Structure 1
Amino acid sequence: MIERDHPALSIVAQCRLLSISRSSFYHEPAGETERNLGLMRLIDQQFLDTPFYGVRQMTWHLQNEGHGVNQKRIRRLMRLMRLMPIFQKPNTSKPRKGHKTYPYLLGGLRVDRPGQVWCADITYLPMRRGFLYLVAIMDWFTRKVLAWRISNTLEADFCVEALNEAIHRFGVPEIMNTDQGSQFTSFAWTDRLKRVSIRISMDGKGRCCEPACKIDPVTG
């Protein structure tokens, strides 16, 4: 903005025109103190081991190690280092106590046509502060996503909305397969399936979903 070798205007004149002081022009920002540089090295080392540590947890860790720091300082240093915690993955497949679960119906079943088996899965989308949750209804045979919804809670409503859209657009399948997550064992979900005579299949507790219906939180 200010040219040191301007042919017509001196630095003083340029500063006056821009309404800034000469001291501001000549000021060179000081680097971080040795103490802050040391803290940054400690933060970096700890972050490699616990990448889910945010400002509060990192502050507690350093305080427990005997360093007199507060959250304000650690927040500034982590921002300077551009460290963004990777939040721990929420459990989207945990059944709710008292909900009925159903047997797995796909063992040995030959799935050879569209509309025979659908599946549903929930994954999480890590955001800057917390998560959003994505549910997708898919056709097991074609791998096509039939409907999807995003929610900021794990209530069953957004799953039922996606199911309703899929049924409206593509009719009803013979079987719906899910895990035993509380959304899929809820009355709202299972009742909707029963009302249109869709057979309910659930993966056993602790069993991974089949690849046909697994959603990757990054690639989809």
Structure 2
Amino acid sequence: MTRKKYSKEFKQDAIALVKEQGYSQAEASRNLGINPNMLGRWIKEAENDDGYAFRGNGKLTPEQLELRNLREENKRLKMERDILKKGNGLLCQGNEVKYSFITQHKKIWPVTVMCRILGVESSNYYSFQKRNCDRYKPDPEKEEMLRWVKDIAKFSDNTYGARRMKRVLNALSFPVSRRKAQALMQEAGVWVRYKRKFKSTTNSDHKKPVYENELAQQFDVEKPNQAWVQDITYVWTNEGWLYLAVVIDLYSRKVVGWSMSSRMKAQLVCDALHMAIWQRQPKPGLIVHSDQGIQYASKAYRKLIKKNQFVGSMSRKGCCWDNAAVESFFGSLKQERVHWKSYQTRFDAQQDILNYISMWYNSHRLHSYLDYKSPNNFEAGNDSLGFDLKLVA
């Protein structure tokens, strides 16, 4: 059995999940599909080299530290502004009206902060709540469902609509319909991120050789490492563009390789394919499909395909449907994460995208094509939704 190899970029990303994003070694290892002891060795290797082994010195510059403090201050001021905006006119009202406002929004903002801004004592608010608790007789089951809806929305980063919410509630033994799930979401004040359009980055205006369309939109495959699809997208940061190349296994829709760079060169797509090869160890005959972009028509990329005895495949010119699976992933990434962020640096964007791919999309996101299972659970043959209720709770 061939020993699996891991690229330097993969090791850097694995270490970043623990050292920079706060995940435990066990959780990061489980989501990346590697041995925790191996990840521990990588971390020690980086630490023994004063942090330079994988990603620079890993320390915040004075400018970055100041920027972080400014962000925290801005977050606090924004919260106070939102409370005043939402409670417009309450400063002139009686305390009971203010208490009602605080009760309605205590899941959004801290009670002590609202009390301070509205000019009431928090101890008086809690006394009022205790005196009036007998006036309300809520439905315990409904209250529990509302709590779950809020927790699920928070865990999914407000990306789950009524269909996915219904599936998770059903898994929690709440036999609700899609319409009921939608009503609960509305009552709980849960919102869902909407879609935004984005442009293609493909440059197919070149005279380099291209592969035939061997995939021919046959996106349903019977086993892993039978057909992979890949593409490039871009993300804007205040430092400039960050380009992302991914490789997706059509069997499970899992992202099996990725690479990010400030330049959209052939090396970008080759690095992503290298990572996928190191992780999956596919056999000859694997179909590797892409668009007709100049990076995928490059000599270096074609050499990599030939060396591993893969079958190259390319979409028809201008036909996005020929690569619909990877386009769908980019749509989810941008709708659920990128379009809601303002990245100061390419490094910030890189870390956030790494988190989305390895800690959310592959591990926990319910995929409609997979009968609402995550890619990792689908490949593992797990019949459950793949929704980790312990993480939500």
TM, length-normalised to structure 2: 0.32
CA displacement 1:173-218 (0-9 Å, x = unmatched) = 6100000111111111111011111000100100105332222352
Following TM superposition, by how much is the alpha carbon of 1:93 offset from its aligned partner in structure 2, in angstroms? 1.0
What is residue 318 of structure 2 aligned with on the other side? 206
Q: How does 1:48-127 map to 2 (within 5 A)?
A: 91-95=200-204, 97-107=206-216, 109=218, 111-127=221-237
Root mean square deviation of aligned Cα: 2.2
CA contact (8 A) 2:213 2:314 kept: yes
Distance 1:152 1:108, change over 3 A: closer
Which structure has more relative contact order (CA 8 Å, sep 6+)? It is 1
Structure with a larger share of its residues in helix: 2
Query: 205-214 or 190-199, which moves further after superposition?
Result: 205-214
Following TM superposition, by how much is the alpha carbon of 1:162 offset from its aligned partner in structure 2, in angstroms? 1.5
Between the aligned partners of 2:235 and 2:217, the Cα distance in structure 1 is: 33
What is residue 147 of structure 1 aligned with on the other side? 257
Following TM superposition, by how much is the alpha carbon of 1:169 offset from its aligned partner in structure 2, in angstroms? 1.3
SS of match in other structure, 2:231: strand
Unaligned runs of 5+ in 2: 1-197, 337-355, 357-393
CA displacement 1:112-165 (0-9 Å, x = unmatched) = 211100111111102225311101111011100011111111111121111111
What is residue 270 of structure 2 aligned with on the other side? 160
Structure with a larger share of its residues in strand: 1
1:189 and 2:301 are equivalent in the alignment: yes
CA contact (8 A) 1:133 1:153 kept: yes
Between the aligned partners of 1:121 and 1:184, the Cα distance in structure 2 is: 9
Between the aligned partners of 1:93 and 1:130, the Cα distance in structure 2 is: 18
CA contact (8 A) 2:200 2:233 kept: no
Query: 187-196 or 167-176, which moves further after superposition?
Result: 167-176
CA contact (8 A) 2:230 2:248 kept: yes
Distance 1:108 1:212, change over 3 A: closer
TM, length-normalised to structure 1: 0.55
Following TM superposition, by how much is the alpha carbon of 1:108 offset from its aligned partner in structure 2, in angstroms? 6.6
SS of match in other structure, 1:184: coil
SS of match in other structure, 2:296: helix
* Bigger radius of gyration among the two: 1
Following TM superposition, by how much is the alpha carbon of 1:96 offset from its aligned partner in structure 2, in angstroms? 5.0
